Chain A
Amino acid sequence: MTAQVITVTSGKGGVGKTTAVANLANALAMDGKRVVCIDGDIGLRNLDVVMGLENRIVYDLVDVIEGRCKLKQAMIRDKRYPELYLIPAAQTRDKNAVSPSDMVRICNDLRADSDFVIIDSPAGIERGFRNSIAAADRVLVVTNPEVSAVRDADRVVGILEAEEKGSPALILNRLNPALVRNNDMLSAEDVLDLLGIQLIGIVPEDETVIIGSNRGAPVAADGKSRAGQAFRNIAKRLQGQDVPFMDLEPQSGLWSAIQKITGRK
């Protein structure tokens, strides 16, 4: 095995990076892939709670770097998928405890026996972000269809190009199809036109995401969740499969059946 190292970043905070990492990792593990996630947000540890692994942490990324434990000892095994691991961020240290070359070294050690290494970058464009992209073979930029998030995403794309990391792929998260239909939200086409990068997935706004985070059970495993479906599709695309983009129009439930019968649609 030679893992693909994928970094998920965004510029702006709160757009859903950590949710995306947890869900993509779960979806890849569901497909039988061996996956290691790294929380790159030193000092603001988050990926562990979203993945539901906060009670199992003994060692963290900085312990590995400073030689207090072996790499394997800091890899927490997921509850559901035995081939899914998390290397948590240190909570009591700051971002200067890690350097870009540390990240490259750790990722190279992980490459030999995993399929995917997924790095959750902190928000911003400073040290923690630089550390997170240092080892990346591929970068995914998460944004929301909002002016501030798109502007920050554009800054990050510009930096990635200047660093010769190649053109990243876009995850457009929390798209609300009803607002787009009313022309009160930027559409996927608008955001792609503005950013000028390729699209790897559109995740609709979906309340099951927060329910999944509450429980520490990412929605990728929930067959009924629309966001979960979107993340499973992105995971397939990361594996090189050609998956059509989801139809984000309202599903054909009872209400739309009634609308059809009464001719209201």
Chain B
Amino acid sequence: MNFFTRKRSASSAKERLQLVLIHDRTDLTLEEMEALKDDLLKTIARHIEIDPEAIQIGLEKDGREQRLVADIPLRGAARRRAG
């Protein structure tokens, strides 16, 4: 690897640890996280129209607290107005 162009290892260490710690702390595997997202989406989609592609659901760290953060853009209202 070229010494001058390689990505410095401290940032890989930090990025990898950020992910690992989030999952260690919540005791949630990646598969379980995917299942949770699917269930959430199905439930929400029963009530309102959503764009599955535009949705972001993930765990975020705030100090030592973990948060499940979901960003779910709605598209139903705009379409109804247009129609």
Interface residues of chain A, those whose CB is within 8 Å of chain B, are: 146-147, 150-151, 154-155, 157-158, 161, 167, 180, 182-187, 190, 193-197
Contact = CB atoms under 8 A, between A and B. Distances in A.
Contacts of A154: 21, 24-25
Contact of A190 (B14, B21, B63, B64): B14
Interface of B: 8-11, 13-14, 16-18, 20-21, 24-25, 61, 63-64
A187 B64 CA distance: 19
Contact of B8 (A146, A147, A161, A182): A182
From DSSP, what is the main secondary structure of chain A's interface residues? helix
Contacts of A184: 8-10
Nearest to A194: B17
Contact of A196 (B9, B10, B64): B64
From DSSP, what is the main secondary structure of chain B's interface residues? helix
A182 B3 CA distance: 11
A195 B9 CA distance: 19
Contacts of B11: 183
Contact of A186 (B13, B21, B61, B64): B13
Given A151-B20, A161-B64, A196-B63, A186 B25 contact: no
Contacts of B63: 196
B67 to A, nearest CB: 13
A263 B63 CA distance: 42
Given A151-B17, A154-B21, A184-B8, 20 more contacts: A146-B13, A147-B13, A150-B17, A154-B24, A154-B25, A157-B64, A158-B25, A183-B9, A183-B10, A185-B9, A185-B10, A186-B10, A190-B10, A190-B14, A194-B14, A194-B17, A194-B21, A195-B64, A196-B61, A197-B64
